[in-house]
Copies of this chain bind each other. A is one copy, B any other.
Amino acid sequence: MAVNKKDQFEAEEVELADLAKAISHPARIAILKTLAQKNMCICGEIVEVLPLAQSSVSQHLRELLAAGLIQGTIDGSKSCYCINWKAFEKVEKIFNLFFSKTKSYEEKRTCC
């Protein structure tokens, strides 16, 4: 059992759910925060600010990459990451739209 029923939902819902999942772990939020606060790409250093093993951090970085929230380049023996601001702002818009769309029905409620 436990079949994946993703394809039974609307694409919009799946998209938002996937984005929410990308930021649903404190480590990934901490990574985004760290990348934003520095004023340049971070090559290494990320592992040091997180309470996780190097391989675990790498895994979280890969997930943020897959979600498009960050971008990475290889510079010598180091990998450099920074926030993909274009994608980040698109994600922000998607969340904003969800909240505002949902809230637009609030005034009509006749209960609670």
Binding site for B on A (CB under 8 A): 5-6, 8-10, 13-14, 16-18, 20-21, 23-30, 32-33, 36-37, 39-41, 51-52, 71, 82-83, 85, 88-89, 92, 95-96, 98-99, 102-103, 105-106, 108-112
Q: Are B39 and A10 in contact (CB under 8 A)?
A: no
Within the complex, what minimum Cβ distance (angstroms) separates A64 from chain B? 13
A37 CB contacts on chain B under 8 angstroms? 105
28 contacting pairs across A/B (C-beta < 8 A): A5-B27, A5-B52, A6-B26, A9-B26, A9-B30, A10-B30, A17-B25, A20-B20, A20-B24, A24-B24, A29-B98, A32-B102, A33-B102, A36-B102, A36-B103, A36-B105, A37-B105, A39-B105, A40-B109, A40-B111, A41-B111, A41-B112, A83-B102, A88-B102, A89-B103, A95-B95, A95-B99, A96-B96
**Identical copies of this chain, number:** 2
A13 CB contacts on chain B under 8 angstroms? 26, 29-30, 33
